[in-house]
Amino acid sequence: MIGKKPQQVHMVGVGGSGMSALAEIYINMGIRVTGSDMSDSKKIDVLKAKGITFYKGHSSHNISGADLIIVSSAIRPDNEELQEARRRGVNIISRAQALANQAEGKNILAVAGTHGKTTTCAMIGCIFVQASFDPFIALGGEASFLSGNGCYGSGKWALLEIDESDGSMKYFKPNCLLITNLEEEHLDFYGDINGLIDGFSTLANQTVDKAGFYCNGDDENMQKVIMKTGCKWISCGLDNISDWMAKEIYLEGMGSQFSLIKNGKFVSKISLQVPGIHNIRNALMAAAVCLDLGIDLEIVCNSLATFETVKRRFQILGQVNGILLVDDYAHHPTEIVASIEAARQLGGKVLAVFQPHRYTRTAVFQERFASSLALADEIALLPVYSSGESPIQGVTSENIKNNLLKNGKDRAVCIEHNQIDNWLKQVGRNGDIALFMGAGDLNKTAKEIISNEGFGK
């Protein structure tokens, strides 16, 4: 723990998913919280209702009274609030450091990985709550069972979603670790896939219980992590022989079902009300770790059967003119494929609306974005959402469209936000699914279309 318990915390970039979860935890602890960000959001409104003092925009005056500054990884070092904190000698720590500090003294169950960590973590959290664990939870998305994305429970377990994007995994020493999968991502920080493998290997080697490492048995890159660690791993898979397996998989509509197998023996049928093969994998890992922790099988099954999707993870927003609007956080080629395949379960054409997130990511994945999006019937591409990055020459949505054309996919257009509703009116029909994908602000446009109760209004 860094220093004594703060009296007032100021959070720079409080609107982010990880920062807002931490803000909720501090509020639960009875600590005064102030925070700043460049824009308002519904999440900010929730935090304000819970007692946070929010400042729109950054100013040196915002940190008044704070004895601890917590900074998001998205904030630049020359931010004026950070400069003022340094001038005053106020302690500044990262979000990851703050989260590790708050979880100190508890048994940490960390969930990491390129895809699915938010949903897997939320599934485990739902089970923990139903099992009366009274857990400390920090999620990267809002879950209905929490009415938010963080809580400070008095139980012995801390359930943490670990962000790999900036190398901050090094601050955590979990008692139990789940790695959902590992794929090329955040190469602007890690350089290449080997750097990413090294980062996850460091986290695995810091696991306190060397028999508490759960991994995806179907993931080739996970095998490379395992070779670099001294941990005994527990594998969870669908294809390769694993310790825990999902078999007899049935997918239909907004639900799915599978048989849970441990060491070749049937354990139970698991039913879900979230779609997609990726959610089978998420539920498999959640069930495996919770059952190994001794949680009753009936609690595990019932919790998963009633689990509601995390916000922005294949979240049904509503219907307009017979077209179902779905909001999904997919911003990586693999996630796009998973989301389109899940949409296929619902029937109708899939109308993909995609907003690339960050220039650095788009530069790496322009061709793969095209091959993934090609699975949809109609495709609308929005301009790249910068997330604070400077533009990179030649990195545009137009290039993704050109790659689609090379692959023979001529049903793609580049449009602006205010053109989406007219595009849907032109290409959509009753029973189709409009799938809004991206980690930027595209979901706001989707909600506006719902609010207007029709297209072209």
**CATH code of the domain in which 46 resides:** 3.40.50.720
- Output Rg (C-alpha) for the chain, integer angstroms: 22
Last residue in a domain, options 66, 97, 128: 97
Tell me: do 108 and 174 sit in the same domain. yes
Indicate whether 375 and 440 sit together in one domain: yes
Contact 200, 112 (CB under 8 A): yes
- What are 105-134's pLDDT values in tens digits? 999 999 999 999 999 999 999 999 999 999
From the list 43, 117, 311, 349, the catalytic residue is: 117
- Please say if the pLDDT value at position 210 is more than 80: no
Phi (first) and psi of residue 327, to 5 degrees: -105, 125
Q: Is 300 helix (H, G, I), strand (E, B) or coil?
A: helix
Q: What is the CATH number of the domain that holds 238?
A: 3.40.1190.10
Per-residue pLDDT tens for 43-81? 899 899 999 999 999 999 999 999 999 999 889 899 999
384 lies in which domain range? Answer: 315-452
Among 4-8, 155-159, 170-174, 259-263, where is mean pLDDT lowest?
Answer: 4-8
Dig out the tokens for 88 from the structure. 């005053």
Asked if 214 and 285 touch (Cβ cutoff 8 Å), the reply is yes
Q: Contact at 8 Å (CB) between 266 and 254?
A: no
Q: What is the mean pLDDT of residues 84-89?
A: 96
Q: Which residue has the tokens 């029937």?
A: 347
Give the C-alpha separation, 283 to 305, whole Å.
10
* Residue located via tokens 């998305």: 141
Q: What is the pLDDT of residue 32?
A: 96
At a CB cut-off of 8 Å and minimum separation 6, what does 85 contact? 10, 63, 66, 69, 92
CA distances from 185 to 81, 197, 338 (A): 30, 11, 16
- Asked if 425 and 329 sit in the same domain, the reply is yes
405-449 pLDDT tens trace: 988 888 899 999 999 999 999 999 999 999 999 999 999 999 999
Number of domains in the chain: 3
Judge whether 118 counts as a catalytic residue.
yes
H runs (alpha helix) in 150-296 = 187-190, 193-205, 220-227, 277-292
What are the beta bridge partners of residue 270?
258
Same domain, residue pair 149 and 36: no
How far is it, in rounded angstroms, from Cα 362 to Cα 324?
Answer: 27
Which of the listed residues 259, 282, 306 is the one where a domain comes to its end? Answer: 306
Q: Do 277 and 319 fall within a single domain?
A: no
Which one of 34, 114, 118, 229 is the catalytic residue?
A: 118
Please give the single-letter amino acid code of residue 408. G
Residues 190 and 270 in one domain: yes
Helix count and strand count (H, E) for the chain: 15, 21
Asked whether residue 274 falls in the same domain as residue 321, the answer is: no
Known active-site residue 42 = no
Is residue 196 located within the same domain as residue 242?
yes
260 and 184 co-located in one domain: yes
pLDDT given at position 1: 45
What confidence score (pLDDT) does residue 2 get?
Answer: 47
Q: Which listed residue (81, 84, 142, 161) is catalytic?
A: 161
Report the predicted TM-score, pTM, of the whole model to 2 decimal places: 0.91
Which residue's entry shows tokens 């389109």? 340
Task: Round to whole Å and give the CA distance between 113 and 220.
Answer: 13
184 noted as active-site residue: no
Residues 86, 107 within the same domain:
no
User: Between the CA atoms of 114, 115, 119 and 120, what dihedral angle is there, to the nearest 10 degrees?
Assistant: -70
DSSP state, residue 62: G
| 160 and 252, same domain (yes or no) | yes
Among candidate residues 250, 276, 306, the one where a domain is terminated: 306
Q: Is 1 a member of any domain? A: no
* Residue 211: pLDDT over 90: no
